[in-house]
Amino acid sequence: MSEDVRATLLTHLTSRYADLKRRLTRVLGSDDLAGDALQDTWLRLQRLEGQSPILNPHAFLLRMAANIAVDNRRSQSRALPPGEIDELLELSDGAPGPEQTAEARSEAQALARILERMPPRRREILIMVRWEGMAQKEVAQQLDISLRTVEHELKRAHDFCVARLEEKN
């Protein structure tokens, strides 16, 4: 953009700013959007190069500002609204912290020691039902024992674990 054209446009923008903003506000329906578009127009005029002479600076500036406002609206429509951004920033991290990790590790080790003290068949039944998620009927079939025995051993395993955990506390 030649320096004469740039100077003419910048002079027109600053001297007729109020009129440009009023007309742009009517077109866009927002005073803030019009002001932002005119500010961006001024900045863009600073960077433009290789522009031929402008016959109607007022119309040129209005069209340029309107195009900038449309671009701004498009980019804002893809962005999250401020309320949603605030909600996302307030979300807490669900990952356990170092203290929680150490506590969980300690509890797991305590449970492993309790399981080691349990009779082998009872331990196996507890693991198959609670950790592997097998149905009690399936465990009975796999171990070739009655369903009643599985239920009984599972209850005794739970009682044993609860009693040992209460001893620690």
Whether pTM exceeds 0.75: no
pLDDT at 78: 64
pLDDT at 20: 85
Which structural domains are found in the chain, ordered by start?
3-89 (1.10.1740), 102-168 (1.10.10.10)
The tens digit of pLDDT for each residue in 115-153 reads 999 999 999 999 999 989 999 999 999 999 999 999 999
The tens digit of pLDDT for each residue in 4-35 reads 777 888 888 888 889 888 888 888 888 888 88
| Token pair of 87 as six digits | 């909600």
The tens digit of pLDDT for each residue in 28-68 reads 888 888 888 888 888 888 777 766 667 788 788 888 888 88
Please answer whether residues 20 and 62 qualify as being in contact, where contact means their C-beta atoms are separated by less than 8 angstroms. Answer: yes
Rounded Cα distance between 109 and 113, Å, is: 6
| Token pair of 127 as six digits | 């693991």
The tens digit of pLDDT for each residue in 69-111 reads 888 777 766 666 667 666 766 666 667 778 888 888 988 888 8
